[in-house]
Homo-oligomer: A and B are copies of this chain.
Amino acid sequence: MSEVIHTIEQMKEFSKKAILAQKSIGFVPTMGYLHEGHLSLIQKARSQNDIVVVSIFVNPLQFAPNEDFNTYPRDFEKDRILCEQNGVDVIFYPGYEEMYPQSYQTYVEVSFLSKPLEGKSRPTHFKGVTTIVLKLFNIVKPTRAYFGKKDAQQLIIIKKMVEDLNLDVEIVPCEIKRDADGLALSSRNVYLNAKERSQAICLKKALDKAKELIDAKIYDSQTIIQNMKNVINSYDLARIDYISINSTDCLSELKEVVLGKTLISLAVFFGKTRLIDNMWI
């Protein structure tokens, strides 16, 4: 049975006992509506720790007013069953008032890394992410926390926050999970209609094209990005937000791919739905 905890106080009490008993805590922070991507994080946490905690909290702070906070998919009962089936010990499922009481006013920001890529399209997003993640770390006190590479910039920013603020948690990056046709799993994929869904594979196709060029020793970023654009533009419902080639350490734009240190990432709209994908080279 996964225990469901709603209050910060009870969650802290649980973690305090675990730490005094010298047990390791693996933590998977989520916004719920769990899919195979989340489950792979949970399974990794399960294999590496004494205790596994999953949080489910759709964090209003990381959505801009024009974004999909209200319509973001939620299904706690299904999530609870999936957690049970995957050996989760505790589901931390707090209410909004619990996490952000009325006088709430403290924010954490990782400045430079939050500006490019997703930050350009979503300028307040990462401030919301780092704030909630720091709060969750302080409440759950994990030994290790698991983040998917799908949200590549988020992962890089959280690692930086942990380093800068001298936190003790180890950040464990996890591989992107994909549907059979290559679409990266995302809770937002449910927004796609049938035709959009069939075309959504273009993000992976563009990344495959990039990989093909790099394997042929073509490292020039302009060339790679142009080829990726061509792939996306051959799908009539796809509208490119960005395609970018950046260093994985400071996210600066790269003129040439540097093997082992490069992030190729893109965001593509299908109607109002915005999908992201990436590849670490």
Knowing A103-B250, A105-B160 touch, does A165 contact B135 (C-beta < 8 A)? yes
Instruction: Identify A168's interface contact among B12, B22, B104, B106, CB under 8 A.
Output: B12
Q: Which of A24-32, A47-55, A77-85, A109-117 contacts B (4 or more CB under 8 A)?
A: A109-117
Q: What residues of B have a CB within 8 angstroms of the CB of A250 in the complex?
A: 103
A164 B105 Cβ-Cβ under 8 A: yes
Asked if A8 lies at the interface with its beta carbon under 8 angstroms from chain B, I say: yes
A42 smallest CB distance to B (angstroms):
23
Q: What residues of B have a CB within 8 angstroms of the CB of A138 in the complex?
A: 165-168
How many monomers of this protein are in the complex? 2
B103 A106 Cβ-Cβ under 8 A: no
Instruction: Identify A106's interface contact among B106, B109, B135, B139, CB under 8 A.
Output: B109
A67 smallest CB distance to B (angstroms):
21
Asked if A254 lies at the interface with its beta carbon under 8 angstroms from chain B, I say: no
Interface digits, A251-276 against B, CB 8 Å rule (1 contact, 0 not)?
00000000000000000000000000
A22 and B105 CA atoms in complex are apart in Å by 32
B105 A108 Cβ-Cβ under 8 A: no
A135 B105 Cβ-Cβ under 8 A: no
Interface digits, A138-173 against B, CB 8 Å rule (1 contact, 0 not)?
110000000000000000000011001111100000
Asked if A201 lies at the interface with its beta carbon under 8 angstroms from chain B, I say: no
User: Which residues of chain A from 87 to 122 have a CB within 8 Å of any chain B CB?
Assistant: 103-113
In the A-B complex, the 4 residue pairs with the closest CB atoms: A106-B164, A138-B166, A105-B111, A106-B110
* Chain A interface (Cβ < 8 Å from any Cβ of B): 8, 12, 20, 22, 103-113, 130, 134-135, 138-139, 160-161, 164-168, 250
